[in-house]
Amino acid sequence: MTNTLGLILCFTYIFAMIGLAEGLRRWRGYGSSFTRKVIHIGVGMMSWFIPFLFTSPWPFVAACAAFMVINLLDWRYGFISAMQSSSRSNLGTVYFPLAAAVVALVFWDQPPLMVAALMPLTWGDGLAPVIGAAYGKRIYRIHTSTRTLEGSAGFFVAGFVFTWLALWVMPGLPDISPAAALLPALAIMAVTTLIEAVSIWGLDNLTVTAAAILILRAWSF
């Protein structure tokens, strides 16, 4: 596959996810706190296909840079309702493509690690507020952010399942067995769950991913 076709598919997929979320918002009346996470998880799952779309990380990095600009403009002017945050200090949508670009550059030749590094952010951070809003009863506050223990538990469980699957299922080197993937997935989620709990202003999109990168770089597979 050529990089040009990869870019076309990448942009088409992301705008399709935005369209799906906007459609849900209008059809079912879901708030942007939910539709943001539909986009968040959907876009994060694209990492599973990145090694098959591009021959090097740089076209993907260029796409990430473009979406950083698009998301910054949306944060400033609010033209995509499904992506709006209730907090004007939250630049999480801008940080997300930055984190994805860094992960691609660090782990391009190790697809299982590349995808695994983004799963705590994709599924953990994606589901935590949804679970917290639906089932959260034990509330704690960090600065101006309100979270729940149930949401943090959801972060850990969802992130663990998909980090473990990425390490095991994603083709490429290192070749990791299901059993060998368990301990690093647990270590990543134990650390990132704590980091997500205390991160503010949308910085968890960077801090969670940075922690996952460091653990995966240090782990002996």
pLDDT per position as a tens digit, 141-152: 776 667 888 989
Which segments within 4-123 are labelled E, that is strand?
A: none
Cα separation, 199 vs 178, whole angstroms: 31
With a CB cutoff of 8 Å and minimum separation 6, the contacts of 135 are: 148, 150
Q: Are 60 and 54 in contact (CB under 8 A)?
A: yes
pLDDT score of 89 more than 70: no
Cα separation, 204 vs 184, whole angstroms: 20
Q: Please report which confidence band the pLDDT of residue 1 belongs to, taking 50, 70 and 90 as the band edges.
A: low
Cα separation, 190 vs 18, whole angstroms: 31
Provide the mean pLDDT of the chain.
89
Expressed in angstroms, the distance from the first to the final Cα of the chain is 30
